[in-house]
Amino acid sequence: MNVNRRHLLAGTAGAAAVALTASACASEDGGDSAKTIGVAMPTKTSERWIFDGDNLKKAFEDEGYKVTLQYANDVPDDQVAQLETMVSQNVAALVVAAIDNKSLNGPLAQAKEADIPVIAYDRLILDTPNVDYYASFDNIQVGTLQGEYIVTALDLENQAGPFNIELFAGALTDNNTPYFFNGAWAVLEPYIAEGKLVVKSGEVELEQIATENWDGAIAQDRMDNLLSTHYKGEQVHAVLAPYDGISRGIVSSLESNNYTTLPVVTGQDAEIESLKYIIAGRQTSTVFKDTRDLATTAVEMVVALLDGKKPEVNDEETYDNGDHVIPAFLLTPVSVDVDNYQEVVVDSGYVDAADLQ
Ligand code: BGC
């Protein structure tokens, strides 16, 4: 790609530069001129983001683009630096899964200056006018599925209880965290109000139950504390866990506290390790979000934008980022447990059966 010329055009002709689009075009020197898309992912510590990055890279390359793919090890400042570099390299578009939803104003303002469109990927970026579209799942529905799983597994409609439950949420820096929790809370709260579900710790506020960086070890510590403080001689019957890494931390805590009959433990992402836990009866459920479809959705948005077209969206009201409502395409999450994992994640080709041995 003729970076300098593209940069000059972007700097001087504004939107006209964006209109000069095609996935690949001949450069003046006849060299390889594919445009580059900047993809910023949060971390490699969680399997799903590795799948996301790989899927995005492949899907963009299939469309004739080059890709610069960066992970920032859950360090917000590193992600800011990576985005600044991508903007300075004059990428054709940015696809960003934010670590800290409020830390990206600087690089996104630079992207706007350079007429680089920005797609918020899976996690909405807040308090900036410089986000164009949002590709994600129905994040409220993720929480609804987790809450409903607990209601069904404990048979709350028919059993008198009371059952003890503890609640965990994700990172407060992630816009999805309240959406997941609110979805689950709307399902669980009536049973808590009625006394069928009891949160012995009393910790039900997001700030109390959040897990920094979605870190399983932090969740494990919190579960250890909950058990030693509130469950002497008592059992916990269900744990709302928002993400598989957190679920496994909670299970480790329960097992090291001699739980032989484990409570219902939810999760999210259908990570291979958690699918193994589910098969072994150590974690109860997860929520599968097909990141192949999410990658395709984001790529289609970028391709449409760079072709001067309007990307397809299916939600123009749910995701207000504090500046404006971001037009979104939301995919559908699926609840997975030992009864349907084969059909949903193996038969669909998402996970290799051999990896679950
Ligand atoms: C994603 C989840 C993931 C979590 C931790 C959230 O933003 O939507 O799929 O489990 O981050 O990585």
Which atom in ligand 1 lies closest to the alpha carbon of residue 289?
9
Handedness of CA 26, 29, 34, 36 (dihedral sign): negative
| Same-domain check for residues 53 and 145 | no
Q: Tell whether ligand 1 has an atom less than 6 A from the beta carbon of residue 123.
A: yes
Cβ neighbours of residue 243 closer than 8 Å, sequence gap 6 or more:
46, 170, 214, 267, 268, 269
| Same-domain check for residues 20 and 89 | yes
| Same-domain check for residues 307 and 251 | no
CATH code (residue 75): 3.40.50.2300
| Same-domain check for residues 183 and 295 | no
| Same-domain check for residues 277 and 256 | yes
Instruction: Give the pLDDT confidence of 36-94 residue by residue, as tens digits.
Output: 999 999 999 998 999 999 999 999 999 999 999 999 999 999 999 999 999 999 999 99
Given the structure tokens 């680089």, which residue do they identify? 116
Percent of the chain with pLDDT over 90: 89
Does residue 346 lie within any of the structural domains?
Answer: no
Q: Tell whether ligand 1 has an atom less than 6 A from the beta carbon of residue 243.
A: yes
**Which two structure tokens, joined as six digits, stand for 335?**
């609840």
Instruction: Give the pLDDT confidence of 256-284 residue by residue, as tens digits.
Output: 999 989 999 999 999 999 999 999 999 99
For 113-147, b/e burial (b = at least 16 CB within 10 A) is ebbbbbbbbbbbbbebebbbbbbbbbbbbbbbbbb
Q: Tell whether ligand 1 has an atom less than 6 A from the beta carbon of residue 100.
A: no
| Same-domain check for residues 170 and 269 | yes
Cα 165 to ligand 1 centre (Å) = 22
pLDDT tops 60 at residue 9? no
Rounded to two decimals, what is the model's pTM?
Answer: 0.90
| Same-domain check for residues 174 and 229 | yes
* pLDDT at site 260: 86
Rounded CA gap, 46 and 294, in Å? Answer: 16
Peptide bond into 311 cis (omega under 30): no
| Same-domain check for residues 143 and 253 | yes
In the chain, how many domains are there? 2
Does residue 15 lie within any of the structural domains?
Answer: yes
CB-based burial label for 194 (10 Å; 0-12, 13-18, 19+): exposed
Phi, psi of 334 (to 5 degrees): -130, 130
Does residue 340 lie within any of the structural domains?
Answer: no
245 pLDDT band (50/70/90 cuts)? Answer: very high
| Candidate from 18-32, 156-170, 173-187, 276-290 with smallest mean pLDDT | 18-32
Pairing relationship of beta strands 264-265 and 238-240 according to DSSP bridges: parallel
| Same-domain check for residues 281 and 144 | yes
Question: Position 141: which residue type?
Answer: Q
* pLDDT at site 33: 54
Cβ neighbours of residue 28 closer than 8 Å, sequence gap 6 or more:
2, 5
Does residue 153 lie within any of the structural domains?
Answer: yes
Ligand 1 mutation pick, 212, 268, 334, max ligand atoms within 8 A of CB = 268
DSSP 315: B
| Same-domain check for residues 282 and 310 | no
Structural domain of 216:
139-288
Does residue 349 lie within any of the structural domains?
Answer: no
